[in-house]
Amino acid sequence: MSRELAATLMIIALGVLLFLVWSGWRRRVGRYADLPALLLADDLAGSPIATYSLLYVATTEADKPMERVAKKPLGFRARMVLGVGPEGLWLTIPGEDSVVLPATSLRGVGRATWTIDRVVDADGLVFVRWAWGERLVDSYFRSVDYPTDDLVTAIEDVVPPRKGSA
């Protein structure tokens, strides 16, 4: 086999591989097309009372930490600022519109050690369970500058009490 033929076959194989990756991502994006747009921070009168500089890791389907939700602005990992206030959680990701997860959509907060392509030390991730339209999802954050206990406590203060609890 000549070098030219081998190079041509490699380029074709690479093109096919890139097409398969692209089409798989498009299918995943389509799977979440029913999710409503998130509330823009500019549309809310309130503001956060505390902010945390964090790493946004992923949003997954609840109890399925390997099923990434592919929907803007939460499709990719990034540095971010998480604001916490009585109205909910403000998510500011560079290059995206700032959005708010209303307190009424929050279902819980906890600690985790892993999610999609990320494994960390014990309790190194904080996750927030929330309702996005009709779906329950978990958003994962990693704090490098703040103790996770402080972050969890701040978010717990915003999560509304569950019906039937004191």
Q: How far is CA 101 from CA 7, 26, 124, 132, 138, in A?
A: 50, 25, 22, 9, 12
How many CB atoms neighbour CB 139 within 10 A?
23
- Name the residue type at position 59: T
Q: Which residue has the higher pLDDT, 113 or 98?
A: 98
**pLDDT one-digit tens code per residue, 115-125:** 776 667 666 78
Sort 42 into a burial class: Cβ within 10 Å, 0-12 / 13-18 / 19+: exposed
**pLDDT one-digit tens code per residue, 53-78:** 999 999 999 988 888 898 889 888 89
Per-residue pLDDT, 166:
47
Maximum CA extent, the chain: 76
| pTM (2 d.p.) | 0.80
Per-residue pLDDT, 100:
94
CATH code for the domain defined by 39-156:
2.30.29.30
- The average confidence (pLDDT) of the chain is 87
DSSP H/E element including 124: none
Using 50, 70 and 90 to split pLDDT, how confident is the model at 163? low
Domain residue limits, the chain: 1-31, 39-156
The answer, yes or no, to whether residue 139 has pLDDT greater than 80, is: yes
**In this structure, what are the phi and psi dihedrals at residue 65, rounded to the nearest 5 degrees?**
-70, 0
Per-residue pLDDT, 22:
85
CB 50 within 8 A of CB 83: yes
For residue 46, the 8-state DSSP code is: -
